Structure 1
Amino acid sequence: MYEKDGEKYFVVDSHCHFWDAARENWVEGREQYAKGWIDCFYGYHQLGPPETHWDWEKFLKVSADDFERDMFVEGHVDVAVFQSTYLKEWYAEGFNTIEQNGRLVDRFGDRLIVNGRFDPRDGDAGLRQFEQDHAKYGFTGIKLYTAEWNGDSRGFKLTDPECYRFLEKAQELGVKNVHVHKGPTIWPLDKDAFDVADVDHAATDFQGLNFIVEHVGLPRIEDFCFMAVQEPNVYAGLSVVIGGLMHARPKFFAKVMGELLFWVGEDKMLYGGDYNIWTPKWQVEGLVDWQMPDEEQFSDYPRLTTASKKKILGLNAAKLYDIPVPEECRLPETTAGEPMAPGEELVDDVAGAQA
């Protein structure tokens, strides 16, 4: 929990990892891809404040003690959501598998939520593995990497018929939160495989699922926003937005946050620190302190309130994952009014921004 100026913030980090990029885990003959991947991550790491930078060797693989200190002791995080990313084409035991993540559950208890994953290109065997993983871990969320390599394939779409079979299974099992990496590419993956168009289609067809678009489709922020405002079950995952832009590109950060606040709204934005690309402490503290700049170019964007920041930092994710929130961190209950007509919310937002 983070407290500032008498306000208490319940922090849910909805996007973090516990990866193994150590040399011993690199697939023989594909070392250039394993190294290239983690080197690209390390480049993003440099976008944080200089005092938070690690040396490359530490970045390859952190310990459980490192994770606990960085996240729960110093990082203000109350609950962390592990996102599983396999990459077994380059990492022999996987980069960040559900088994690796699951081993920490006994240590951290209800402070840690482990998400599963699937790859529709694995066919019937993959579907059986997905069911087995769910039976063992009981996850309610998954992470999908549509640009991940699998044999000769260099990506899939959520709209692929085989993917629909897996999404139907997820819905049947009660897995309701689908985190989809749709943002900056990481070498050697293909940027076009991260396009957000397939989310639009799938979100309409699976309205019982919540689609959390990680990294908000960057650099396609306009594409994402104009899609997400139409789909009530599409959410903005702020990993990379905060860690990659708040310190290194403050004006671009303000633009991205402004677009998200105007189109998507503060009720559908989720904080993600993207550990261990970045540590959460400076991100949480920075977002609590941050205000939209006063320059004319930002004048038509909504402003963040304390309540807005509490929602984004934890309350929105807590609602999606049914996480109990301490009473002192909750917001006052509000009474819902009449349903809005299509476009009414945007009209109200414009009026508020111009007032």
Structure 2
Amino acid sequence: MYEKDGEKYFVVDAHTHFWDASPDNWVKGQEEYAKGWIECFHAYQGLGPKETHWPIDRFQKYSEELMMHDLFEVGHVDTAIFQPTNLRQWYKNGFNTTEADGALAAKHPGKFLVNTTFDPREGDEGMKAFEERVKRYGCKGVKLYTAEWRGDSRGWSLKDPEAARYLEKCEELGVKNVHIHKGPTIWPLDKDAFDVSDVDHVATNFQGLNFIVEHVGLPRIEDFCFMATQERNVYAGLAVVVGGLMHARPKFFAKVMGELMFWIGEDKLIFGADYAIWEPKWQVEGFVDWNMPGDDELSDFAPLTVDQKKKILGLNAARLYDIDVPAELRLKDPETVEPVGVPNS
């Protein structure tokens, strides 16, 4: 919970990781890619305030204690949602796995929700393992990485028939929140494999699922907005938007937030710090303090209200994941004013 100027904010960090990219975990013969991946991640950290930057050895593999401190002791986070990324082609035990996330969550009840992942290229065997993970960890969401390498394949599409089978299984199991990385690429993955165009297809076909587009499709922000505004079950995941732009590119951040608010609206924007690329503390505090600049070129966009920021920082994600919000941190119901001369019935 974060409090500022008498206002209390319930914070759900809907995009967090507990990874191991240390050299001991690199696959033999794939060291170039394992090393390059985490170094690219580390470079993104440079978009945050200088005092929050980490040395590369800590960034490759950080401790449970550090994560708990950064999120819950000083980071203002009430609940965090793990978003796994396997990358087993480069990392022996996986980069950021459901199993590692689940073990940490079990040690700290009430702090984390565990999402899992799937890869439709794994076929029936992968489907069985996916179902087992969902039941074991109580997953309400799944994180998809359409650009992940597997053998000679350098990605897959949500339009693939095999992907549809897995999404049908999501509906069957009650895994209603589908998070898809659709944003900045990370070396050596292919930028085009993260294109947002396949989301439109499945959002229409699977009305019982919520599709949270992580990183809002950057740099394809306009493509995303024009798609998301006409798909009622598409949401914007703000990981990278806040962490990557608010400090380093404030004017671009204002434009992106303005477009998202105009086209998609306050009820469909989901905060995520993207730890450990960026720590949540400065993002939560900075977002509460932030408002739309008064520049003429941004005059199309309205300022954000306190209630809108409360929705974005936690209440929207709480609604998607059925997280219980303390009564004092919920939005107040609007007052009802009876018309003059009309008695109550």
TM-score range, shorter chain: over 0.9
Alpha-carbon distance between aligned partners in 2 of 1:199 and 1:75, rounded to the nearest angstrom: 32
Alpha-carbon distance between aligned partners in 1 of 2:125 and 2:139, rounded to the nearest angstrom: 19
Residue number in structure 2 paired with 1:66:
66
2:187 paired with 1:166: no
Change (3 A) 1:27 1:335: farther
Residue number in structure 1 paired with 2:207:
207
Alpha-carbon distance between aligned partners in 1 of 2:303 and 2:152, rounded to the nearest angstrom: 47
Alpha-carbon distance between aligned partners in 1 of 2:157 and 2:84, rounded to the nearest angstrom: 18
The Cα shift of 1:206 comes to: 0.3
Q: Map 1:1-355 to 2 at 5 A.
A: 1-334=1-334
1:109-155: CA deviation from partner (whole Å, max 9, x where unpaired): 11100101100000010001011111211101000000000111111
Alpha-carbon distance between aligned partners in 1 of 2:110 and 2:232, rounded to the nearest angstrom: 28
Gaps of 5+ in 1: 337-355
Task: Find the residue that maps to 2:87 and give its secondary structure.
Answer: coil
Residue type of the alignment partner of 1:115: N
Q: Which runs of 4+ in 1 moved over 2 A?
A: 333-336
Residue type of the alignment partner of 1:217: G
TM-score by length of 1: 0.94
Residue number in structure 2 paired with 1:347:
none
The Cα shift of 1:51 comes to: 0.6
Alpha-carbon distance between aligned partners in 1 of 2:335 and 2:136, rounded to the nearest angstrom: 39
What is the identity percentage for the equivalent residue pairs of Structure 1 and Structure 2? 67
Task: Find the residue that maps to 2:109 and give its secondary structure.
Answer: helix
The Cα shift of 1:108 comes to: 1.5
Residue type of the alignment partner of 1:325: V
Alpha-carbon distance between aligned partners in 2 of 1:239 and 1:184, rounded to the nearest angstrom: 11
Task: Find the residue that maps to 2:213 and give its secondary structure.
Answer: strand
Alpha-carbon distance between aligned partners in 2 of 1:138 and 1:68, rounded to the nearest angstrom: 21
Residue type of the alignment partner of 1:320: L
1:144-176: CA deviation from partner (whole Å, max 9, x where unpaired): 000000111111111100000000001000000
RMSD, aligned CA: 1.0
Count residues in correspondence: 336
1:20-58: CA deviation from partner (whole Å, max 9, x where unpaired): 001000000000000100010011001100011111111
